[in-house]
Amino acid sequence: MENVVLTIHLILALLLIGVVLLQRNEGGALLSGGGAMTARGAANVLTKLTWIFAVAFFITSIALTVVASQKAKGGSVIDLLPGATAPAAPETPVPTAPTGDILPPASGDAPVAPTAPVPPSAPASTAPATDAPAAPATPAPASN
């Protein structure tokens, strides 16, 4: 049943493409009215065929959707392969809800942060300390 509907669906798709390509570019060909065969009678026939093929295409699309949904088992495509087993999902722990008060503490209730340990002072150096050199004296103005 599904293969028959699918074959009809594909034939309708090809016919619909052919009829649309045969139409002249008039702008709004599907929306043009009329019923009497006039000078544009061929355009009206192609327009009507386009509507017929489009409606039949939508009907077969819906029919294929209904058939596919009835055949769906909710499994995976990999389950259909012979000898193939789907990898087991890793066990993940389920998070538990927190107990007690979950609000952050007020500013007065906040714990005091520990201070960083003070490193021991560096050992005294045996080299004599040198003072910075004195600033150079200002040169005396040269006389003529």
pLDDT digits (tens, 9 = 90+) for 76-109: 777 778 876 655 666 777 777 777 777 776 776 6
Which pLDDT score is estimated for 65?
92
Contact 9, 57 (CB under 8 A): yes
Give yes or no for residue 58 having a pLDDT over 70: yes
pLDDT at residue 4 is higher than 50: yes
Residue 102's pLDDT is what? Answer: 73
Give the C-alpha separation, 12 to 30, whole Å: 17
Nearest to 54 by CA among 86, 8, 12, 98: 12
Q: How far apart are the C-alpha atoms of 93 and 86, rounded to whole Å?
A: 21
User: 3-state DSSP call for residue 142?
Assistant: coil
pTM above 0.75, yes or no: no
What are the two backbone dihedrals, phi and then psi, of residue 93, each rounded to the nearest 5 degrees?
A: -70, 145
pLDDT in tens, 14-51: 999 999 998 877 655 455 555 444 545 667 888 899 99
Using alpha carbons, select from 39, 47, 5, 41 the residue that is nearest to residue 23.
47
User: How many C-beta atoms surround the C-beta of residue 36 within 10 A?
Assistant: 6
